[in-house]
């Protein structure tokens, strides 16, 4: 299967701990997005990479959140000093954009479900 993969699928942590999630996009996809989804809601945009450059961040992304995509392939999302309000599903999506920007489609991974106790 060559779809978007995320690891871990589930994470339980205690408040105050740091957690890191990984996303492996579809091979050769140059854009990578992170979204957060809370129960009963649609996903909300967090941040986005074009290759290795982080080009946009949502105001939802507090200082405790950091994302990287060091070589333009996989990406990591780290949450420091987790709070109970960080409990959510964290979704990663990737897309391939060339000259036809209006043809962009984001393909999502299975998500990482985080529970902060």
Nearer to another protein, 55 or 117 (CB): 55
Min dist CB 18 to another protein, Å, is: 24
Tell whether residue 113 is a contact of another protein (CB under 8 A): yes
Please pick, from the candidates 17, 51, 104, 115, the single residue that binds another protein as defined by CB under 8 A. 104
C-alpha–C-alpha distance, residues 12 and 116, integer Å: 6
C-alpha–C-alpha distance, residues 33 and 44, integer Å: 11
E-state strands within the chain:
5-7, 10-13, 19-24, 31-37, 44-50, 53-57, 65-68, 75-79, 88-95, 107-108, 112-116
Q: What is the DSSP letter of 86?
A: G
Report 30-59 residues binding another protein (CB under 8 A). 31, 33, 35, 40-45, 48, 50, 55-56
Closest CA to 57 of 71, 70, 44: 44
Phi, psi (deg, nearest 5) at residue 84:
-60, -30
Question: How many of the chain's residues bind another protein (CB under 8 A)?
Answer: 28
Nearer to another protein, 21 or 48 (CB): 48
List the x/- string, 56-75, binding to another protein by CB under 8 A.
Answer: x-------------------
By the criterion CB under 8 A, which residues form the site for another protein? 31, 33, 35, 40-45, 48, 50, 55-56, 89, 91, 93, 101-111, 113
């Amino acid at each position: 299967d060559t779809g978007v993969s995320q690891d871990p699928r589930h994470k339980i942590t205690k408040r105050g701990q740091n957690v890191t999630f990984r996303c492996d996009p579809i091979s050769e996809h140059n854009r990578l997005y992170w979204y957060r989804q809370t129960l009963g809601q649609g996903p909300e945009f967090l941040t986005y990479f074009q290759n290795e450059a982080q080009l946009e961040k949502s105001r939802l992304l507090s200082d405790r959140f950091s994302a990287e995509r060091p070589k333009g392939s996989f990406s990591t999302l780290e949450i420091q000093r987790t709070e109970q309000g960080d409990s959510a599903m964290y979704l990663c999506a990737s897309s391939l954009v060339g000259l036809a920007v209006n043809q962009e489609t984001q393909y999502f991974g299975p998500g990482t479900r985080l529970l902060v106790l």
